[in-house]
Amino acid sequence: MERQHITSGGAYEAVFGYCRAVRVGNNVYVAGTAPAMPDGADPPPDSYGQARRCFEIIGVALSEAGATYADVVRTRMYITPEADFDEVGRAHGEIFRDVRPVNTTVIIAGLIDPRWHLEIDVDAVVD
């Protein structure tokens, strides 16, 4: 089965040996996505804004893999104690209210960048 790698050009991809997303057949797997900003700029200060930024990056990766938010079947959200759970959920609901993928949300101690409140990964199945 053909394997398609979608890269974001992030510095860690080559060093750690991963890519933003992988498509194998009809399945698309998007790696954990933090609210990284172009040129290392500060992420949005609030959890809602950070979640929206994560979903923006995820949407680009899905598109490059030939998928959309409507194809997402699973989301995983890793949130820090600093995250506002309700605001993260609001951002998730705005995108997936009608799609209704399964979801797992886990509270974690922290992320690589202390400015980040969350990281999100998704799995999709393309018809």
**Residue 107, H or E segment:** strand 102-107
The identity of residue 64, as a single letter, is: E
CATH number of the CATH domain containing 59: 3.30.1330.40
Chain centre distance of CA 83:
15
Work out how many domains the chain is built from and give that number: 1
What one-character DSSP code corresponds to residue 17?
Answer: T
Measured between alpha carbons, how far is 28 from 3 in angstroms, rounded to an integer? Answer: 10
Q: pTM to 2 decimals? A: 0.95
Domain hosting residue 95, numbered range: 3-125
Average pLDDT over residues 106-125: 96
Q: In which band, very low, low, confident or very high, does the pLDDT at 11 lie, cut at 50, 70 and 90? A: confident
